[in-house]
Structure 1
Amino acid sequence: MRGAVMLFAAGFGTRMGALTADRPKPLIEVAGRPLLDHALDIARGVAPGRIVANAHYRAEQVAAHLAGTEVRVSHEAEAILDTGGGLRAALPQLDADPVFTLNTDAVWAGPNPLRMLAEAWDPARMEALLLCVPPARARSHAGAGDFAIAPDGRATRGPGAVFTGAQITAAGPVAAVPERVFSLNRVWDGMIARGTLHALLYPGHWCDVGRPEGIAAAEAMLTEGGGVRT
């Protein structure tokens, strides 16, 4: 399955404090490279038909960083659209169904997360497949988890596994939401009700780089276990 990849890169990065005063969070460096480039390595590792990154805060810097590459930019000029609205706005550029989505504020160590999703994807049973990680393998991230995963892979709300920001999703349920600004949580809740939201556990390590302390944690993780085997 080739698909297309949506990279979420539009957020304000307020939890990063002064580090995002003059640049967007995706351009903060971890191990000498911008977070956006770490995510691009993962996206390119599955040879997608297209890669699209959305941009809002300091959008001109994201666009300049991606200039000359194959990545298209979905500009959210007037207002930030949240994850669901951002993905829906980018669907014409992605031109694929299903699509991968990947947050850019995380670093991985282990197999390519998008390849894992592609290999496990079953459109006969799934409308979305989320990649999660046990809390013990989630670096720089607190909490008991976001989803419970049943033996058959169906996901429901509850503690148990941390959502990593990587998923594969059918485009239809996203396109069907009438509002312009909305979270993917709304889409997932509908899938939970239909029994079509599934989740998969990632066997490697994952680090949340949403706060300044996440940078050192991610760099230590990469030193210990290497990066993504693309």
Structure 2
Amino acid sequence: MSARQAVILAAGRGTRLGPLTADTPKPLLPLAGRPLLLHTLDALAAAGIETAVVVVGYLGDRILDALTAAPPPGIGLRFVRQERLEGTARAAALARPHLSPGPFLVTWGDVYLDPESYAALLGAASGSDGALLVNPVDDPWAGAAVYVDGAFRVTRIVEKPPRGTSATPWNNAGPAVLGAWLWPFVEALEPLPRGEYELPRALAAAVEAGRTIRAVPVAGAWFDIGTPESLEAARRYAEARRGGKVHP
């Protein structure tokens, strides 16, 4: 059964963006004349997602105001607030009471993707416990190294591996299709030294326990918008796509 529901993690501060997020939450930063979050919602709706739970935190009222004033067509929205920013696993768990039984797609409010990636992710999850979007990099030391077998099933996820130690080019790109099987792994997490509970660690534990997760290479562009430089690169790409200079 294909997922028709999504969770969007949009609670973070975006400290590396400096003054750009002093008064604007990161998911509302503009790309090609529209907030990043609206690009994501459009892409999810185009891929077949019908409802989304948006987890807000930092400047969350701005996000609620923006989406209630001009709700995106084709997708129903619910909002939950993460009062204490305790990491992405705790944020995802807040959406749990609002999810129907069955699979769900989770994505980050600061990731910009072409719509084709979401469609590919949803398609690959059929017949498996889930699917994880991955992107090729020279060295996944800054994210999470994703190891796969010959059938492109995830065999191991290593968070923040030391530079030069990974034997895989695949990095955890963030978005994933998951199921209710995830929650025991979230509940079993230990906090990181900074007090946060991170969703990729729960996913790594699930893989280790034998859950079948398919790796899905990014289709088209992928931008993790965490710095002014990555924001500017995403803006240039979004403008080119809007102007017809980039084709799916």
Q: How would you bin the TM-score normalised by the shorter chain? A: 0.7 to 0.9
SS in 2 for 1:112: helix
- Note the alpha carbon deviations across 1:60-86, whole angstroms, 9 max, x for none: 111111215331111112x12421111
Deviation at 1:96, TM superposition (A): 3.8
The 2-side partners of 1:53 and 1:33 are apart by 18
The 1-side partners of 2:82 and 2:107 are apart by 17
Instruction: Please name the residue that 1:154 is paired with.
Output: 153
Q: Which 4+ stretches in 1 moved above 6 angstroms?
A: none
* Contact kept in structure 2, 1:207 and 1:214, CA below 8 Å: yes
Deviates more, 1:186-195 or 1:160-169: 186-195
Distance 1:129 1:56, change over 3 A: same
Deviation at 1:175, TM superposition (A): 5.0
The 2-side partners of 1:216 and 1:173 are apart by 35
Work out which of the residue numbers 123, 131, 134 in structure 2 matches 1:132.
134
The 1-side partners of 2:183 and 2:225 are apart by 26
Taking the TM superposition and a 5 Å limit, the aligned residue runs for 1:78-89 are 79-89=84-94
The 1-side partners of 2:247 and 2:228 are apart by 22
SS in 2 for 1:177: helix
Deviation at 1:28, TM superposition (A): 0.8
Taking the TM superposition and a 5 Å limit, the aligned residue runs for 1:1-230 are 1-67=2-68, 69=71, 70-77=76-83, 79-109=84-114, 111-123=115-127, 126-135=128-137, 143=142, 146-155=145-154, 156-157=156-157, 158=166, 159-174=168-183, 177-178=186-187, 182-196=197-211, 197-224=213-240
Q: TM-score, normalised by structure 2?
A: 0.79
Q: What amino acid is aligned across from residue 37 of structure 1 in structure 2? A: L
Equivalent pairs, count? 221
- Note the alpha carbon deviations across 1:167-218, whole angstroms, 9 max, x for none: 1001222255336962112321222213323311123221221111112211
Identify unmatched segments of 5+ residues in structure 1: none
Deviation at 1:224, TM superposition (A): 4.8
* Contact kept in structure 1, 2:14 and 2:21, CA below 8 Å: yes
Q: TM-score, normalised by structure 1?
A: 0.84
Deviation at 1:29, TM superposition (A): 0.9
Identify unmatched segments of 5+ residues in structure 2: 158-165, 190-195
Deviates more, 1:53-62 or 1:112-121: 112-121
- Note the alpha carbon deviations across 1:4-28, whole angstroms, 9 max, x for none: 0111110011111111111211011
SS in 1 for 2:58: coil
